[in-house]
Amino acid sequence: MSAVLLLTGIAAVAIGSWRGYAAARVAISPLAHEGEPTRTLIEEGRPVFHRTRVRTAIRHLALAIAWLAIAMYGLFMVSVGSSVA
């Protein structure tokens, strides 16, 4: 039982960390780049939460947090698996 917990925990940590980093990197990219000048002028008149870049960044940030939560659960499984052994 402890081997299963250790292996699945390590897999969850690796996959969750990797996907969390990738989702966080995608979340920051629309806010870091200038973008098309015409679209930027149009979006400046909208409220902050109605802007496409902000909504996309928030969506990807939520995904990054979810993947990191999976990675933290993997750390929990590794700690339980190591204490059972």
Q: Give the three-state DSSP class for 39.
A: helix
Mean pLDDT by 10 residues, the chain (85 residues): 89 94 88 73 72 83 94 93 82
Q: Which pLDDT score is estimated for 85?
A: 61
Domain borders along the chain are 2-84
Q: So what's the pLDDT on residue 78? A: 92
The token pair that represents 79 in the structure block: 């700690």
pLDDT at 56: 85
CA gap 22, 30 in Å, rounded: 14
pLDDT at 22: 93
So what's the pLDDT on residue 55? 84
User: What pLDDT is recorded for position 69?
Assistant: 95
